Amino acid sequence: MSRPGPGALISINGLGFPPQNLARVVVWEWLNEYSRWRPYTATVCHHIENVLKEDARGSVVLGQVDALLVPYIIDLQSMHQFRQDTGTMRPVRRNFYDPSSAPGKGIVWEWENDGGSWTPYDMDICITIQNAYEKQHPWLDLSSLGFGYVIYFNSMSQMNRQTQRKRRVRRRMDLAYPLTIGSIPKSQSWPVGANSGQPCSCQQCLLVNSTRAASNAILASQRRKMYQASGNGAGTGTLPVRQSNTFNGTGATLWAGGTGPTGGAAKGEPGRSPGGAPGGNFSRSQSAPGGAQLPRQNNLNRPGTQRVAVLSARASIPPGVPALPVKNLNGTGPVHPALAGMTGILMCAAGLPVCLTRAPKPILHPPPINKSDIKPVPGIPGICRKTKKKHLKKSKNPEDVVRRYMQKVKNPPDEDCTICMERLVTASGYEGVLRHKGVRPELVGKLGKCGHMYHLLCLVAMYNNGNKDGSLQCPTCKAIYGEKTGTQPPGKMEFHLIPHSLPGYTDTQTIRIVYDIPTGIQGPEHPNPGKKFTARGFPRHCYLPDNEKGRKVLRLLIMAWDRRLIFTIGTSNTTGESDTVVWNEIHHKTEFGSNLTGHGYPDPNYLDNVLAELTAQGVLESSSKD
């Protein structure tokens, strides 16, 4: 295997671990709700590595090194990040990069969001930008990484290829990420089943495994036919097509035309096609959106070039090899559209003709409806709920709240407090940092329902970092004590019945929910009190089937709305905009007549999934204050 270029993610045998005799830079990352891995800062990664050396199965309190991450804890055993005030859990992973890449040098590339603050790029994009910068390229097209942007180094700007909108980018020096040499324990990665010796049953792994089998079967069939044709004299000079190792976990790449790697291309290298295979056999466009020259840009995304490429591929196929069209990218056939698309990429890289169909647009809204046809939902009183600004309850003293749900433990066991990571038989790690009258640092309490034990001072500190609503959530098992409320800004929720059916529920009408939140000023419970927040995409329309379970979900969503749990103010993972209204871990279906984005129907598991999410937030039909 050729040596990866600068910035490559070192991967041996598909495990993500380099040989033991190589130095490598360690970058810890967390998975957001859009399946993108976001890196922690170098300071946080150093802290995680230090804790990992002491206890590979312990927990990491991120607030000890970054004040903005006070609510977060990483459990190294399960490789998950837990937010104490909301109960949100996200997978984390440990990645390794070349020491000469951007993280090894402490170089960070960032773009300016609408709020005027700076957002770092994903690590693979950061490394790609730095590589192009070091080679003194005037610009860099990120289309090959799945992002429709062009970076111009002369003006230090980022341009959206579709809208032509420009944003500032910057390159700054920071602390270099931690370096490790020698043998390290095999840390667990998400999903857990990937390295457990048992095949993982999640949808992602099932899709990858089925794609691997389908692509290898197709390429093996073509290879046999080519050999047969070559033996008959019909395919003289034709190179055999190798079986794909792309999904075998070996890090190998399927090279078109049988050519091998020549430059040790790194992960996310500029000039590669979106499918990850070099486009050396295809024509390159030399013009950029703004008139600049774009060398090595893959032009296969243009209809005209697609037709030329398909015709050229058909002409290069020896006699007797049939064309294999991939016609299910719209999701209407029995083959999964992602499987069809990935197979098409593999076939294109192998020089086989691929017939691509135009992807349809999602059906977001139902047909026009007369006002007289809109009816109240049976069994649900009213058609509208409003929330106003939260009035702080001065009676909620942190010490009183904690003592309400805890029982004092006279002789605590000799084990860790999972909040401060100090032993329960010693003083709290917040001694000297937080002081409360009547709460001594050595006091230990046990939560009433679940029985988990913590320092009282640690729970007071955790409560102060949350919403201060009189509720408490166990950091270990996420059990909720009291009535949990959120930080949703003021707005309006409407719900009614419309005379149309959702896909998969042809025998029922549809419940439509309309959320509307205006822009405003952040309150004391928000990230930046006194600062303006934006509300993009409102009013937002969501849909439920009008059946017994759908009405149950609606009742619980109304309860969650009243408790201000549906939305919150934060940073959008889609646009990167900060100080804006975002969803708060309770998924909604915003696509009415299709499921192209994953936010529509049919989805037979959605109602059960959202009920589980509501339960995790403490929203139950029988819920009441403890």
The amino acid at residue 312 is: S
**More confident: 124 or 319:** 124
Query: Can you give the pLDDT at residue 87?
Result: 73
Query: Can you give the pLDDT at residue 270?
Result: 35
Kindly list the distances between the CA atom of residue 16 and the CA atoms of 251, 397, 565, in Å, as whole numbers in the listed order. 9, 48, 38
Map out the domains of the chain as residue ranges: 23-181, 398-477, 491-617
Query: Can you give the pLDDT at residue 229?
Result: 58
Query: Can you give the pLDDT at residue 601?
Result: 93
Which of 304-308, 510-514, 576-580 shows the lowest mean pLDDT across its residues? 304-308
pTM here is 0.47
Query: Can you give the pLDDT at residue 597?
Result: 78
Banded model confidence at residue 213, pLDDT cuts 50, 70, 90 = low
Asked if 294 and 169 count as a contact pair (C-beta separation under 8 A), the reply is no
Phi, psi values for residue 176, rounded to 5°:
-70, 150
In whole angstroms, how large is the CA radius of gyration of the chain? 28
Q: What is the dihedral of CA 374, 377, 383, 388, to 10 degrees?
A: -140
Q: Give, rounded to a whole angstrom, the gap between the first and last alpha carbons of the chain.
A: 61
Residues 393-448: tens digit of each pLDDT: 444 688 888 888 989 898 999 999 988 888 999 988 887 666 666 678 889 999 98
Top CATH class of 23-181 equals alpha beta
- Quick one: three-class SS letters along 390-407? CCCCCCCCHHHHHHHHEE
Q: Calculate mean pLDDT across residues 149-164.
A: 90
- At residue 170, does pLDDT exceed 90? yes
CA dist., res. 212 & res. 309, Å (int) = 24
Tokens standing for 220? Answer: 């093996």
- At residue 486, does pLDDT exceed 80? yes
Banded model confidence at residue 305, pLDDT cuts 50, 70, 90 = very low
Cis peptide before 539 (omega within 30 of 0): yes
CA dist., res. 91 & res. 189, Å (int) = 8
CA dist., res. 168 & res. 173, Å (int) = 17
The amino acid at residue 339 is: L
Query: Can you give the pLDDT at residue 490?
Result: 94
- At residue 626, does pLDDT exceed 70? no
Of 526, 535, 532, nearest in space to 487 by CA: 526
Query: Can you give the pLDDT at residue 338?
Result: 54
- At residue 569, does pLDDT exceed 90? yes
Instruction: For the chain, give percent helix, strand, coil, nearest 5.
Output: 25, 20, 55
Of 272, 216, 267, 222, nearest in space to 246 by CA: 216
Q: What is the dihedral of CA 125, 131, 136, 139, to 10 degrees?
A: -20
Dihedral angle sign, alpha carbons of residues 197, 275, 131, 164:
negative
- Quick one: three-class SS letters along 323-366? CCCCCCCCCCCCCCHHHHHHHHHHHHHCCCCCCCCCCCCCCCCC
The CATH code of the domain at 491-617 is: 3.30.390.130
Query: Can you give the pLDDT at residue 83?
Result: 84
Which of 83-92, 129-138, 241-250, 403-412 shows the lowest mean pLDDT across its residues? 241-250
The CATH code of the domain at 398-477 is: 3.30.40.10
Q: Which residues pair with 30 in a beta bridge?
A: 38, 92
**More confident: 467 or 173:** 173
Query: Can you give the pLDDT at residue 209?
Result: 52
Of 358, 414, 417, nearest in space to 84 by CA: 417
Residues 14-38: tens digit of each pLDDT: 334 445 557 889 999 999 877 889 9
- At residue 187, does pLDDT exceed 50? no
CA dist., res. 570 & res. 582, Å (int) = 6
On average, the pLDDT of the chain sits at: 74
Q: Are strands 520-521 and 510-516 parallel, antiparallel or unpaired?
A: unpaired
- At residue 608, does pLDDT exceed 70? yes
Asked if 526 and 569 count as a contact pair (C-beta separation under 8 A), the reply is yes
